[in-house]
Structure 1
Amino acid sequence: MQNSMINSSLNIDMMNFSRVFMKQVMFVQVLVGIFFYVNCLMIFTFLKKEMFREDTRYILFAQTLLVDSFLMVFTDVMLLWNYFKYSIHMIPCILICTIVTLVTICSPLTLVAMCLERYVAICMPLRHADISTSRTRLFGFLTIWGISSIAPLFSFIAYLSVVHPSALLSYAVCSVEVMLGEEWQAQTRVLIFQFLFLLMIIIIVFTYVKIMTAARASADNKKSTSKSLRTVILHAFQLFLCIMQFVSPYIEMAFSKKDIYVYAHLKYALFVMFYIAPRCLSPLIYGLRDEKFFYVLKHNALCGFDSSFSNVFRFSNWKIRPH
Structure 2
Amino acid sequence: MNTSQERDSFQDAFIKNFICVALGIIISHINGVFVYTSCKNAVFYGNSRYILYIHLVTNDMVMLSITVGLHVVSYAVPFVQVSLCCFLLLLCNVTARNTPLNLAGMAIERYIAVCKPLHHPQICTVKRTYILICLIWMASIIPALADVFIIIALKPLTFFNSNTLCILWNVFTTQQHRDRATVVQVMFMLFVWLTLFYTYFMILHTAKNACTDQASAKKAQNTILLHGAQLLFSMLSYIAPFIDMYLVPLFPKSRSKILFTTFLLTHILPRLLSPLIYGIRDQQLVKYVKGYFSCNHEHASQVKPH
The reply to whether TM is greater than 0.5 is yes
Q: Distance in 2 between matches of 1:83 and 1:206?
A: 45
Query: What is the distance in 2 between the residues matched to 1:213 and 1:30?
Result: 44
Matched, 1:154 2:146: yes
Task: Map Cα deviations across residues 16-71 of structure 1 (whole Å, 9 max, x no partner).
Answer: x6634542332222111111111122111111001111100000011011100000
Q: Give deviations 1:67-94, integer Å, cap 9, x for gaps.
A: 0000011001111122345222111111
Percent identical among aligned pairs is 22
Local SS of the residue matching 2:117: coil
In structure 2, how many angstroms separate the alpha carbons of the residues matched to 1:257 and 1:80? 25
- Of 161, 170, 184, which aligns to 2:162? 170
The question of whether the paired residues in 1 share the 8 Å contact of 2:292 and 2:300 is answered with no
Q: Provide the residue aligned with 1:10 in structure 2.
A: none
Correspondence for 2:27 among 26, 35, 44? 35
Contact 1:245 1:274 in 2 (8 A): yes
TM-score by length of 2: 0.91
**Secondary structure in 2 aligned to 1:217?**
coil
Cα pair distance change 1:263/1:187, threshold 3 Å: farther
Contact 2:13 2:75 in 1 (8 A): no
**Cα distance per residue 1:164-183 (max 9 Å; x no partner):** 22221111221222222112
> What is the CA distance between 1:286 and its match in structure 2?
2.0
Point out the structure with max Rg over C-alpha: 1
Asked whether 1:305 is paired with 2:305, we answer no
Aligned-partner SS, 1:149:
helix
Contact 2:248–2:258 (Cα < 8 Å) also in 1: no
Q: Is the 8 A contact 1:151 1:193 kept in 2?
A: no
Tell me by how many angstroms 1:236 deviates: 0.6
Helix, strand or coil for the counterpart of 1:111? helix
Q: 1:218 to 1:85 in 2, by over 3 A?
A: farther
Is 1:59 aligned to residue 51 of structure 2? Answer: yes
Aligned position for 2:137: 145
Q: 1:254 to 1:187 in 2, by over 3 A?
A: farther
Aligned residue type for 1:280: L
Quote the Cα distance in structure 1 between the aligned partners of 2:301 and 2:19.
Answer: 38
Aligned letter for 1:143?
Answer: L
Matches within 5 A, 1:16-95: 19-20=11-12, 22-84=14-76, 86-95=78-87
1:99 aligned counterpart, secondary structure: helix
Task: Answer whether contact 2:28 2:61 (CA < 8 A) is retained.
Answer: yes
Alignment CA distance shift 1:173-1:152 (3 Å):
same
Listed as ranges, the gaps of 5+ residues in structure 2 are 1-6
Of residues 106, 125, 138, the one that matches 2:98 is 106
Amino acid at match of 1:253: M
Q: How far apart are 1:257 and its partner, in Å?
A: 4.5
Gaps of at least 5 residues in structure 1 are 1-13
Distance in 2, Cα, partners of 1:262 & 1:211: 46
Cα distance in structure 1, aligned partners of 2:190 and 2:288: 37
Aligned counterpart, 2:3: none
Report the more deviating stretch, 85-94 or 102-111: 85-94
| Greater alpha carbon shift after TM alignment, 228-237 vs 248-257 | 248-257
CA RMSD of aligned residues (A): 2.0
The separation in 2 between residues aligned to 1:27 and 1:151, in whole angstroms, is 32
Residue-by-residue CA offset, 1:228-259 (whole Å, 9 max, x unaligned): 11111111111111122111122223345454
Mapped contact 2:94–2:140 kept (Cα < 8 A): yes
Confirm or deny that 1:129 pairs with 2:144.
Answer: no
Contact 1:156 1:179 in 2 (8 A): no
- Number of residue pairs matched by the alignment: 300
Give the corresponding residue for 1:221: 213
1:237 to 229, 243, 257: 229
Contact 2:107 2:199 (8 Å CA) reproduced: yes
Task: From 176, 183, 190, give the equivalent of 1:184.
Answer: 176
